[in-house]
Amino acid sequence: MDRYAVIGHPIGHSKSPLIHSAFAQATGQALTYTAIEAPLDGFAATVDRFRADGGRGVNVTVPFKLDACAYATDLADSARAAGAANALKFDGSRCLAENFDGVGLVRDIVHNLAQAVRGRRVLLLGAGGATRGALLPLLEQAPALLFVANRTVGKAQALVQEFVGRGASAAVLAGGGYGDLGNAAFDVVINATSASLGQERPPVPASAWQADGLAYDMVYGKGLTPFLQDAQAAGVRHLADGVGMLVEQAAEAFAWWRGVRPATADVIRRIHVPLN
């Protein structure tokens, strides 16, 4: 039976085995999927052992997404743009790397939540790895404006310069600090920072929220995070966490490995935690 796994540190919280097992059952694919905790300095050795034991591919979660990029022999554009990989596929001596996080985010917003990105004003918070992975898929949707806001202004501006001219020609990309937002309003506000993990709130100005817009926190399973609480208090009616993004990126990896894309709605409902 074909073997797959997710590798991280820590890994006990991972929903990936549940998700991929559900996908395999629904699509009639014969495979096993397990969780592997690698030592912080032992990612490559852990993958080598898994491959030697017949492993076909792995998902990669924190803190090893940069290590996965360095380990791979062949990088897809998604992994190269993000500078990180969250899925590997083994083909003899070759190791192919993809980053499906941004694709999963866009699919969740556009298909599951029925919120358009094309032609709308999007605010993306943070300038770290999560933002890097999201930028190109968001730009390919041709938003009217995609603004990257970060506490360290220079980091946001440098990141924007890397991606200027990429994606759809209609997309306008800009970046700066939270203070540079002024009184601008946005249709979609995405929190790609780690603030919610520590119950902190990004300093989004009140003027940025739109009542019929979308507030999306990439963190999942934490209920109403401070970011989502602020959006709710500002009257935003559409609130979402990252559970749909998690399942959609998993479906992309599953399709890449197995050649069949599983349906996602039932799995999202199964692991969704109500926002309250």
Mean pLDDT over each residue of the chain, to the nearest integer = 95
User: Does residue 232 register a pLDDT over 80?
Assistant: yes
Same domain, 232 and 258: no
Shared domain for 218 and 234, answered yes or no, is yes
CATH number for the domain that contains residue 31: 3.40.50.10860
Are 63 and 123 found together in one domain? no
**276 assigned to some structural domain:** no
The CA-based diameter of the chain, rounded to the nearest angstrom, is 57
Domain that holds residue 109: 102-241
53 shares a domain with 173 = no
Q: Could you report the per-residue pLDDT of 13-22, keeping only the tens digit for each?
A: 899 999 999 9
207 and 106 fall within a common domain: yes
Of 15, 65, 155, 222, catalytic: 65
pLDDT band at 196 (very low <50, low <70, confident <90, very high): confident
Mark whether 65 is an active-site residue: yes
**pLDDT tens digit sequence for 17-66:** 999 999 999 999 999 999 999 999 999 999 999 999 999 999 999 899 99
Question: Which of the four pLDDT bands, split at 50, 70 and 90, describes residue 164?
Answer: confident
Pairing of strands 145-149, 173-176: parallel
**How is residue 235 written in tokens?**
């009257």
* Structural domain count, the chain: 2
Q: What gap in Å lies between CA 263 and CA 22, rounded to an integer?
A: 10
Shared-domain flag, residues 40 and 87? yes
Mark whether 138 and 236 lie in a shared domain: yes
Q: What percent of the chain has pLDDT over 90?
A: 88
